[in-house]
Amino acid sequence: MKPDVSMAAHELARRLREDLLPELAGFHANVAAMGAAMLEMIGDEWDGAAARLVAENRAMRALFGRAGALLDDKDLTQASQGEDEDLRISALTAANDALRARLTDVQTHVEHADRKELASLETAIWDVLRDSVASRQIRSANF
């Protein structure tokens, strides 16, 4: 049997809500309800984490390609050529962290450069960062 983390988390959340929560009151009911909500969020995040990280990494690498061409920076151009080969969440997260650190350096350089042709790159960087934050929002949290 292959465990499906997302399905198991959602099933545990359902059982907490339907089977256990009606038997509880006060603080214990609140803990069970919060646990169910957290399991739902874990299930949702687990299901989409790899896809989100791969998409974010791809978008940042595309920005490095644009930045490399505009800044005549061979290192950035080379960084744009990479791709995610290890699809484990831990490996994708490590790559994402490294790409974000590099993107911060590029963004700092672009913001301080006095070149009008870099304005669209700066906008694109902010768009990628804004989209990243939006894709990481927890949809079901209300506590």
Q: pLDDT truncated to tens, each residue of the chain (143 aa)?
A: 677 888 999 999 999 999 999 999 999 999 999 999 999 999 988 888 999 999 999 999 999 999 999 999 999 999 999 899 999 999 999 999 999 999 999 999 999 988 888 999 999 999 999 999 998 887 665 55
Within a domain: 62 = yes
Between CA 46 and CA 8 the distance in angstroms is 11
Within a domain: 142 = no
pTM comes to 0.80
How large is the angle between the packed helices 119-135 and 26-71, nearest 10 degrees?
160
Within a domain: 140 = no
Structure-token pair, residue 134: 């939006």
- Number of structural domains (the chain) is 1
Between CA 24 and CA 53 the distance in angstroms is 39
Structural domain that includes position 62: 5-135
In DSSP notation, 29-65 reads HHHHHHHHHHHHHHHHHHHHHHHHHHHHHHHHHHHHH
Q: Which amino acid is at 79?
A: A
